Amino acid sequence: MADTKNLHSWTNATHASKIKTWLIDMDGVLVREDHPIDGAQRFLEVLRKTSTPFLVLTNNSMFTRRDLSARLKHSGIEVPEDHIWT
């Protein structure tokens, strides 16, 4: 995910149509501390536009899904609570 050179190849219609769902780690993939990873929001937008289901995963069970969704939003990444799994 951090390699934005390959972002287009993973999200073009040919590749995206073969993937049924995405499981995406939160820390280090979408955000690092409170900073978004370059390309993360664009990637999620492609998943939404192609109606590709996804879950954002984290092993940080100290916070609720609502807290984590708000943390991501503060970083500029929109992920609804129901798309987060701790």
- Residue 3 bears catalytic tag: no
- The token pair at 10 is 């993973």
Which of the residues 27, 34, 38, 67 is marked catalytic?
A: 27
Active site residue 34: no
Count other Cβ atoms within 10 Å, centred on residue 82.
9
Look at the alpha carbons of 48, 14, 36, 22 in this order and tell me if their dihedral is positive or negative. positive
Which among 25, 34, 38, 82 is annotated as catalytic? 25
Which of the residues are catalytic? Answer: 25, 27
